[in-house]
Structure 1
Amino acid sequence: MQIAIDGPAGAGKSTIAKQIAKTLNITYLDTGAMYRAITKGVIDRKIDFADQKAIAQYAASAVITFKGQRVFLDGEEVTEGIRTPEVSEHTSEVAPIPEVRKVLVQQQQRIAEGTDVIMDGRDIGSTVLPNADYKFYLDAAVSERAKRRYEELQEKGGLNGKTLTDIEADIARRDYNDSHRAVDPLVCCDDAVRIDTTHMTIPEVVACVIDHVEDGTAK
């Protein structure tokens, strides 16, 4: 069984996918963490973000592995390191690079072969798992997504002076970039179930997705 979850930043994709994976006892793959890991590697190696060729070469050689919810880059754990504001800011510069996407999509597809899996990202249903058994698109109002991200960063002490207005602007800009990039843009597939999570709790969204899976209406 393959479940694809797509949607913009802050829609709750990862949180929902993790709980569904646990409930259904299937593998969860955080594809966004893979792009974040490459971005962290680029930052650590001081590669110029304008040098797409160097970034692509690094991505082709990087080794990303998962142990449960823990993420490792070239043997070093980066679970927390890939969630910093700096990595978040620059991931949108790395993710659109065609050669980087090609490398990571191939890795994601290999992981999905022969296993029950749920993946979340921005091009899962359209590119990574186009034949997924179930596809969902989670969305929410920009203001709500910004509020969620603000509260998350505030709890972790990672606001670094950013206001709620700043974060909302960042998310709106990322939405535009993700949906307008030339390669594998963010889209809601015609065969995906769209869920607006703006006024829903996490348990409500999880229950909604599982209900669709169990009754087969998301096929």
Structure 2
Amino acid sequence: MTMTDFSTIPVITIDGPTASGKGTIAHRVAQALGWSVLDSGALYRLTALAVLDQGIDPADEQAVARAAGHLDVRFNGEQVWLAGRDVAPLIREERVGNLASQIAAYGSVRQALLTRQQAFRQPPGLVADGRDMGTVVFPDAVLKIFLVADVAARAERRCKQLKGKGFSANLANLMQDMRARDERDRNRANAPLKAAPDAKTIDSSDLSIDETVKAVLDHWSSLGTQA
């Protein structure tokens, strides 16, 4: 039996601020290529939900890290299972997202989730979205995308997304939360949000989902790499 050389499995990373559309784009690109996908943000949101469910003090870094290291998680299409229940809708709530951003600043939490994220690298390839996929988790990725959009466009998208799922949403509050989250993500000491030096930046403010997916796939095709 031949052991898989994981370093030869191609990875496309898609990093960017909250609500830049990276999750949707990552899924569409992975679907187009027939690859698997990693929504790294879901792991941080799942940790945040576990913290809330278990009554853990978010200020207790070691307790939060232990929760991250012992997550009973399973992904199945649109379903996200935590400790035997589908929590996909719950982890998209703003309270969970805001807490996820806070605990993501903890180095011990990021370390606890690092190996779990890297294990998603399976043949024939992986599309990974997050905030430090290209800079920390998969620094050898063959293609790194940094997806940006102005905060007004991102807030409108998130507002529409939340209302479409039956949640109440206030545009002004969302914009305020996003600015605060962007500031926190960019300035944290551990794996701050930034483009890798070799990343291709795509501004999706005025692009449709299809146009953004095409831009990523065009970058992939330009490499002349066989999928």
Query: TM-score higher than 0.5 here?
Result: yes
- Trace 1:69-84 onto structure 2 (pairs within 5 A): 69-84=78-93
**Alignment-derived partner of residue 138 in structure 2:** 129
**Alignment-derived partner of residue 104 in structure 1:** 113
- CA distance, structure 1, for counterparts of residue 104 and residue 72 of structure 2: 17
**Alignment-derived partner of residue 164 in structure 1:** 171
Q: Could you give the per-residue CA deviations for residues 102-125 of structure 1, whole angstroms, max 9, x where no partner exists?
A: 011111112215551000000000
Give yes or no for the alignment of 1:210 onto 2:217.
yes
Q: Could you give the per-residue CA deviations for residues 160-206 of structure 1, whole angstroms, max 9, x where no partner exists?
A: xx521111010011000001000011011110100000000000000
- Structure 1, unpaired ranges of 5+: none
The SS at the match of 2:119 is helix
- Trace 1:130-145 onto structure 2 (pairs within 5 A): 130-145=139-154
Q: What is the aligned-residue RMSD (CA, Å)?
A: 1.5
The SS at the match of 1:187 is coil
- CA distance, structure 1, for counterparts of residue 38 and residue 131 of structure 2: 13
1:85 and 1:158 in contact (8 A); partners too: no
**Alignment-derived partner of residue 6 in structure 1:** 15
Give the TM-score normalised by the residue count of structure 1: 0.94
Question: How many pairs were matched up?
Answer: 216
- CA distance, structure 2, for counterparts of residue 27 and residue 109 of structure 1: 12
- Trace 1:15-164 onto structure 2 (pairs within 5 A): 15-112=24-121, 115-159=124-168, 162-164=169-171
The SS at the match of 2:201 is strand
Question: Structure 1 residue aligned with 2:196, among 184, 189, 192?
Answer: 189
After the TM superposition, which parts of structure 1 deviate over 3 Å for at least 4 consecutive aligned residues?
Answer: none
Cα offset, 1:74, TM superposition: 2.8
Greater mean deviation of Cα atoms: 204-213 or 78-87 = 78-87
2:105 and 2:190 in contact (8 A); partners too: yes
